[in-house]
Amino acid sequence: MSPIFRALIILVLLAMSCTRPPDLPPFDIVATVLDNSISVRLDWPLVEDERIGPVRYDLYLGNTLVASNINANTYTINNLNYNTTYTGTLVGKNLAGDTESAPYTFTTGKEYIPIPDAGLEQALISAGYDTEGIRNGKMIKVDALLVKNLVAINAGITNMEGIQHFVNLETLDISGNSVAQLNLGQNINLTELNAGSNLITNLNLSPNVNLKVLRVFKNRLNQLNITQNTQLEVLVADNNLLSSIDISRNTILRVVGLSFNNLNQINLSANAQLNDLDLSNNPITGLSLSGVSLLENLACQSCRLSGLGIGNLTNLKHLDVSFNTISSVSLTNNVGIKTLDVSNNRLTGLSVKNNPNIIALNTKNNNNLSQICVTNVAAATANEDWVKDTFTNYSSNCN
């Protein structure tokens, strides 16, 4: 080979060795928001041209460097904010110092809360609160924050999971369902709870200090602590398993319903505002009413009362003490009474002379009651809403 030809070959090889490798090619980024709504996976194509050499990537979220020298074609960004639009840039670079950048944008998903019970979710959909309008076991959290009043009566609900996220809830009515557990610890704005006719065995209401109305009748409660609920005005807990209850701190109670429980006593001395009291079907043997002079409605049928002092109840309008063992009852001061049921007792005498407003009277099955003192015998006899035994007579001449 001639020296000239050899020199030409060397020059060609030198020229080839000095040829600049191709630039980094442009690329696109695919952003995929993951199921948790606040993570996103970024994917981009691999550079397969060996002449370019290894490529590393710097990832920016906005102007913040999230990761540098990424040796892959995918990266996941976590712990983002819900329902937020982000923009950023991915910068590729090789050893030769070439760079290529690509922008990306994505919007994270909405925050959801679990609503696993189909009946509860359907009630939320029907009320227009679940704005997605489909039963998918979840609800947008922002929607839940807007709910102040929720009614889900006879909705077939067994699970109230998710209700803790309704932190602005003020009234809740889930009567007529099959709920056994109810956690309202986060619902501190609740003022009215109607949860009657369920299967609730335990209920912690200590955090619900704003509660004014509580209806939990027909459940399986064997205790009910309402000492922290000092704003309570209405308590209806009939048909439970309560053997005692402390209402000494509930000084503004107006209505108390505790029938069909296992109470053998109750202290009413602190409940001066009480207007309506039902203690029927409890094994109560004695009842002091001295502190409840505003009482208008009193029901104590099917208890174990042998006596009852109602002389201070000058506002009394309706009294039912049937099915007890009461031998006497004085109505002298109860001039406004309208309905009186003293049937199935042991009365030996009764006077309604001072009670001109009585429209309904039942004295049946008082075997020792031979006489009822009235103002007008004829009017009493003609009144079909006055019921007595045949051996009991009306008389206006009473000793």
Can you tell me the distance from the alpha carbon of 114 to that of 228, in angstroms, rounded to the nearest whole number?
29
- The answer to whether residue 357 is domain-embedded is no
- The answer to whether residue 132 is domain-embedded is no
Length of the chain equals 399
Amino acid identity at 92? G
Q: Is the dihedral of CA 55, 56, 59, 63 positive or negative?
A: negative
Place of tokens 């042998």: 306
- The answer to whether residue 305 is domain-embedded is no
Can you tell me the distance from the alpha carbon of 95 to that of 390, in angstroms, rounded to the nearest whole number?
115
Mean pLDDT along residues 203-213: 98
Number of domains forming the structure of the chain: 1
pLDDT of residue 74: 96
Continuous segment of H or E residues that includes residue 277: strand 276-278
pLDDT at 16 over 60: no
Can you tell me the distance from the alpha carbon of 342 to that of 283, in angstroms, rounded to the nearest whole number?
17
The rounded mean pLDDT for the chain is: 93
Can you tell me the distance from the alpha carbon of 151 to that of 55, in angstroms, rounded to the nearest whole number?
60
Which residues, 6 or more positions from 23, have their beta carbon under 8 angstroms from its beta carbon? Answer: 98, 100
Q: How far is CA 241 from the centre of its chain?
A: 21
Question: How many percent of the chain have pLDDT more than 70?
Answer: 94
Can you tell me the distance from the alpha carbon of 362 to that of 131, in angstroms, rounded to the nearest whole number?
56
- The answer to whether residue 28 is domain-embedded is yes
Domain interval for residue 33: 21-107
pLDDT band at 136, cuts 50/70/90? very high
Structural contact between residues 335 and 351, judged by C-beta atoms closer than 8 angstroms: no
- How would you class 175 by CB atoms within 10 Å of its CB: exposed for 0-12, middle for 13-18, buried for 19 or more? buried
Mean pLDDT along residues 218-239: 99
* pLDDT tens-digit series, residues 96-109: 888 899 999 999 99
Can you tell me the distance from the alpha carbon of 231 to that of 87, in angstroms, rounded to the nearest whole number?
51
Give the residue among 23, 24, 29, 46 at the shortest CA–CA distance from 89: 29
Can you tell me the distance from the alpha carbon of 209 to that of 202, in angstroms, rounded to the nearest whole number?
17
pLDDT band at 18, cuts 50/70/90? very low
CATH number at residue 58: 2.60.40.10
Strand order in the sheet with 55-61: 64-70, 55-61, 85-94, 99-107
Can you tell me the distance from the alpha carbon of 315 to that of 387, in angstroms, rounded to the nearest whole number?
24
Output the six-digit token pair for 257.
């319903």
How many Cα atoms are found within 13 Å in the side-chain-facing hemisphere of 386? 20
- The answer to whether residue 278 is domain-embedded is no
* pLDDT tens-digit series, residues 267-295: 999 999 999 999 999 999 999 999 999 99
| pTM for this prediction | 0.86
- The answer to whether residue 33 is domain-embedded is yes
- The answer to whether residue 128 is domain-embedded is no
Output the six-digit token pair for 260.
């069909």
- The answer to whether residue 318 is domain-embedded is no
> DSSP character for 24?
P
pLDDT band at 185, cuts 50/70/90? very high
